[in-house]
Structure 1
């Protein structure tokens, strides 16, 4: 009797195929149930945990959390309390700020979140517009933008990676415990917090990469005027202005225009005065573009009754280095200050006060003494070196005295 092995081979491959499908469906089912980023539903297992990167985690917050208002900034707004915003402005806020993000990246998230019935959006107008920055090289949009395309089926693609598959039965391994009020707040992290309080704190922690290059190289070079005043031809400036307009229109203003019922609070974050002084004194074309962006945003949004633009660059606190951990990042109390401004309708830039505001900001930037700041830094560095030498000398003397005592015994 002849045996037709082809039947057995066919059955074998069908069995293997069914097994593979079952395994694959089991994996998908487990990923759906555990759902570490909460893309498909609110978490059953880790309600106080989130993924470390808000570029991806924001999709889960948008899909599964109950809210009607958002804070969508960069590290400038990460310290803003959603609870405090809700109390002072109204609504139910969540903070989904993306560290180091461009307007282009945030547009991906903003378009998605505005599909919900959103009452308020607090948004930071960071200076990335100067270079019309699109992608953050460390988190390319191709790796996460699909989470916001409205297709829930391709969201699984993010989970079908080595990072999540290897921890399929312990999904919390890819998460961290957070405060849902401000998930990516950094103000309490000692790495950042120790540098608030004054220039001496910066110098004391000079090994920190966020201030090291500035204190040891950038600031001394600027004080010596080794950076020449960089003028640019008129054609170059006009080209940059055109690119800036397109950037702001495409990734912010056009989106706002489509949502007249949502209130937008656009905040120019107040960097340490040196930042503006360096532009005004050493790269005036950049300072021109910065002021051009302020003027353009105010003029474009002026007819929109649901939009307010806020500027703090004329305030005195920008001159106090104690309020900053580096040349841009301010103390978290100013995040509360922004909310107070929104609640009380202060610091709003309008067609009526804009030119006076810009003139004041320019004068303050030009009056800032970069050389004097460097002198203070050099004095503190010399004192630090002298203190270190004295400490070393004292230690050597104690060691020698101890050695003499031992030899006498």
Structure 2
């Protein structure tokens, strides 16, 4: 096959958050198949410093600083009748780069990572387009709108959900293949965009079980100074579902745990926590640590991972990471979506606050049971969740099957 053009809404380095972990491994796998040209964005100087690594894996690349103010993107979205997500990632420099790559190189496949990037595929491209949507963004915004009050924000969320659903249908009809992270997400998308002419399939996430090995990393010393059991919640903390889950853990679950276990502490670990979270740090056993360079020592120093997500799309990397580190995980049904492990053996699924708190208490009071669940979790990851297995179908996904141009919006 010829060259591949890889379009991603965030630079796939470093692999330190859910979407970047997936895009990182996909890009590395694509680079094993042939020359890859990469068009992508970065958000801040921390990400820009990984440009050298991007250059090493790319035949050519275009790395653009995303600095468009949200109000400007909002005005552009409303003026053009597009979703805000599309306007926010619309950049003339990247459009120009795509045209240049297609004119100068024999590109036979374009891999679109995240729906925001499908707008860069020219209408006259004759090669194969693979759209990796990961999960169904439109459903997420609809869920936000349904949970909140009828307000200006709710109106924007409903609008975003409606327009993204239209965009998802367009992408599915115009791409040769649309990929989702789990069977549940793929079925959901089919139910929302049918009928479409392109194929919809599943490509799951994996994890490097050798990197996330509890025997290969020392616990974070600052965490070991805290009261036990040490309960951890990890994630990108400017992401609304993670914020809601952390607030739920702090305000509703932890107080019940501390009634039975007064020394219990909760640790929120992840970049960009909002003021609503940081304001709770230091109170009633809660510490909000913010961004850390390596999540593994924090998992190694914890006793229980808690993932009480109300709105969950796709496979949660935070769950896979905790399981790989042999941590017992208490999570909601939504957070377990796409992870074909066994409730009660490999993790503990509970949905209401009282049941979640009781599961945490039971594990803390039964160290042997907590150890058993953690060991089973680690064993399940080693046997079922490697990146090699997850990406085994990638060569055929971007191969020389029937091709379809991406139609104009």
Q: TM (normalized to structure 2)?
A: 0.29
- Report which of the two structures shows the higher radius of gyration computed on alpha carbons: 1
Q: TM (normalized to structure 1)?
A: 0.29
More strand by percentage = 2
More helix by percentage = 1
